[in-house]
Structure 1
Amino acid sequence: MDVSEATRSSREADAETETESARRGGPVKVWVDLASPSHPFFFKALTDTLSNVETEVTVREKTETVPLAEEVGFDFETVGKDYENPTLRKVGIPMRTAQLTVSAPSADVALSSRNAMCILAAKARGTPSIHFTDNDICAYVDDLKAEELYHRLEAQATHNVVPEAFETSVLTDRGADSDSVHTYDGYKEDVYVAEFEPDPTFPDRLPFDGEEFIVVRPEALSATYVDADGSIVPDILAGAAERGINVVYLPRSGDDEQFADGVPSENVYVPEEALDGLELAWHARCMLTGSGTMAREAARMETPAVSFFPSTRISVDQALIDEGEIFHSRDAEEILDYVESLTDDDVTPDLTRAKRVRREVAELTADLVNESVE
């Protein structure tokens, strides 16, 4: 694909979405709260579509969230942090909610994603909130009480914006008015994938001399929502090496690094520094992951994607599997057979669909902002 042509068509296709304040001359004050690493990309892509808004940003210290907020160009204030210790984490969420209630910027409307802290703080301050989520896992896993509580808190938002595949009853059954839940035809990842501009020189940074590669990311085995006896990644890596398939392997932790032990280093590359996930998805022959986000990112740019997520899947993942956009299996040989079956026509990334979804979400957001400030 001609990258420069794709980029040019992107700029021509994307138009700024006016808020009501732009038409009447005064800016809307928008407070954006970033609580997790995926949020900077999503909200930068979204707020860049809104004209004549004055954006104030707060960020929680959680893994790479702060540096990523810097990377995308947000000016922000850091408020609160996430804790690795489970006991401290329980305290950290209400503590940060209180901090936001006191110190959040004055705003006409608050924007957040999967973030009950911002919703509750905005409610306490009398600020309308627009909340974005795509995780409805408690609709499928009844014993996850923490997830059920989180959905009860998310239901307190003035507006919830969700993909059409989302099980909206997890919000309406927990207090949200059905008129406050708004759907769009696409997925959250479309919003930021749509403005991605691929670097054609990116593969030169990998030690494969320009040869094709796949990406492998392991399961989050320590997460409460994951039910698995172990990882299938060692079998995937060993099988890929046997078949001569080059792999960029992205361990989640030091424990995951051992999965590559004994696998020929000329086939498996474990980067010492973080690599751009969207660049990997664009240039890879296939994206393989034990979780959801990277598979969805690849699928929405029409790169072949494999999920080997070991537990009950949220509805957006299941929808993409049912639609054939993501291949799901827990069998390493079956997965590698799928990778080898891909043709060059299968591996042709494209952003046209993502751009359409981004425009739809931007227009919906502008309408909700208008409604909030009327």
Structure 2
Amino acid sequence: MAGKYDFWVDITSPPQVFFFTPIIKELVKKGYSVYVTVRDRGETVALAKKYLSNFSITGSDSPHSILKISKTVARTLALSLKVPDYDICLCSELPMGVAVSKIKRRRSLIFLDNDLKVYEPGMFQKLEVKVKTLSNYVIVPKVAVKSFGKVVPEEKIIHYDGYKEHISISIFRPDPSELNNIPFSEFVVIRPEALSAMYVREKKSIVPDLIKRFYRENVNVVYLPRKGDFEYLSKSFIKKYDNIFIPDGAVDGLNISYYAKAVLTGSGTMAREASLLGTTAVSFFPSKKLLAVDIDLISKKRLFHSRDVNEIINHVLSNWNKKRLPEFDVCKKIVKNLTEEITNHLDGA
């Protein structure tokens, strides 16, 4: 589509494909034009090909800190030259879209829910937070308003009821055929810690110990690796255990989470998604400080957090057949309300 777009959406990680797809669909349904860019990171491009009809691939990521910074800067400059004219940018967590919008003198709305990142030390982290606050509006879950309000001007904060993951699962419907390639009828899902992330200080994974314990308990594991994580889960280790299955290529994380007996992850997204899908959810995020959204889910007994392998195994086994009803109706309502909020800022220009 030539000419000026109403919205530019910048997608930088696999979970953002699920998050932005329902928003994009709702915007297009309302008659707005949307230009989408995708960063080549992990399964992001593969998932985008599955869920989005049209997008442009720009830039990539690296697990190494120095390269990560240089690639971020390079991608921001490339986007400033490549992205066609638009009215409002929508992005999440990484504020490359905010920076480009400042260069182009366009408006931006950034979605945030990781309130831990805005308090992290380090020059690059502080710079990232500064760029985020340059956005015209910062959209956060209601339960995180107090935390973000310490660094983001109050007049810039827009909040919504629920969690970012409500939006991700709003258009999801279970499809058992997606499990045809999985060799187990019953299984748990494990996604490792994001040890290369700058806001993660601990650099030791508990995944090997979890797999060993599940093996002793005769529990099958569908393992969803992060790019380059064989450095702490070697191929020789995997060969020792016949209860591990690693899918080839990208998988539908929502579908596999829905049918799993439990989802265990070293970061928060998959655990929150699993919780809202009614599946037993465990976070072994490597920190005693947790996101406001995770604290809220824990208080509602929808999420279990621990770095103790014995505690985790006991929790999973004691909740083996305790599937809850998914929150599909709530998700649709949140997407509708949030999209109306977004379009109000365009139409009110």
TM-score bucket (shorter structure): 0.7 to 0.9
CA distance 1:34–1:362, change in 2 (3 Å): same
Q: Is the 8 A contact 1:131 1:159 kept in 2?
A: yes
- Aligned counterparts of 1:180 and 1:94: Cα–Cα separation in 2: 25
Written as runs of structure 1 = structure 2, the 5 A alignment for 1:285-300 is 285-300=261-276
Choose which of 329, 348, 351 in structure 1 pairs with 2:328. 351
Deviates most, 32-41 or 291-300: 32-41
Provide, for residues 104-132 of structure 1, a one-character-per-residue CA deviation record: whole Å limited to 9, x for no partner.
21112211112322112112222111211
Q: Is the 8 A contact 1:130 1:368 kept in 2?
A: no
Question: 1:12 — aligned with what?
Answer: none
Question: 2:91 — aligned with what?
Answer: 112
- Aligned counterparts of 1:37 and 1:247: Cα–Cα separation in 2: 21
Question: 2:124 — aligned with what?
Answer: 146
Percent identity between the aligned chains?
A: 35
Question: 1:269 — aligned with what?
Answer: 245
Count matched residues. Answer: 340
- Aligned counterparts of 1:126 and 1:107: Cα–Cα separation in 2: 10
- Aligned counterparts of 2:262 and 2:333: Cα–Cα separation in 1: 24
Deviates most, 226-235 or 176-185: 226-235
CA distance 1:202–1:347, change in 2 (3 Å): farther
Question: 1:71 — aligned with what?
Answer: 50
Question: 1:245 — aligned with what?
Answer: 219
Q: Is the 8 A contact 1:218 1:256 kept in 2?
A: no
- In the superposition, the TM-score normalised over structure 2's length comes to 0.88
Give the C-alpha shift of residue 306 in structure 1. Answer: 0.4
- Aligned counterparts of 2:219 and 2:144: Cα–Cα separation in 1: 36
Q: Is the 8 A contact 2:9 2:90 kept in 1?
A: yes
RMSD in angstroms over aligned alpha carbons? 2.5
Give the C-alpha shift of residue 97 in structure 1. Answer: 2.4
Q: Is the 8 A contact 1:138 1:144 kept in 2?
A: no
Question: 1:41 — aligned with what?
Answer: 18
- Aligned counterparts of 1:138 and 1:327: Cα–Cα separation in 2: 21
2:19 is paired with a residue of what secondary structure? helix
Written as runs of structure 1 = structure 2, the 5 A alignment for 1:55-134 is 55-134=34-113
2:249 is paired with a residue of what secondary structure? coil
What amino acid does structure 2 have at the position aligned with 1:81?
Answer: S
Question: 1:164 — aligned with what?
Answer: 142
- Aligned counterparts of 1:269 and 1:65: Cα–Cα separation in 2: 21
Q: Is the 8 A contact 1:220 1:291 kept in 2?
A: yes
Q: Does 1:207 align with 2:180?
A: no
CA distance 1:144–1:321, change in 2 (3 Å): farther
Q: Is the 8 A contact 1:241 1:263 kept in 2?
A: no
Choose which of 277, 289, 292 in structure 2 pairs with 1:315. 292
Provide, for residues 55-113 of structure 1, a one-character-per-residue CA deviation record: whole Å limited to 9, x for no partner.
11223333333333222224223333334543333233233323322332111221111
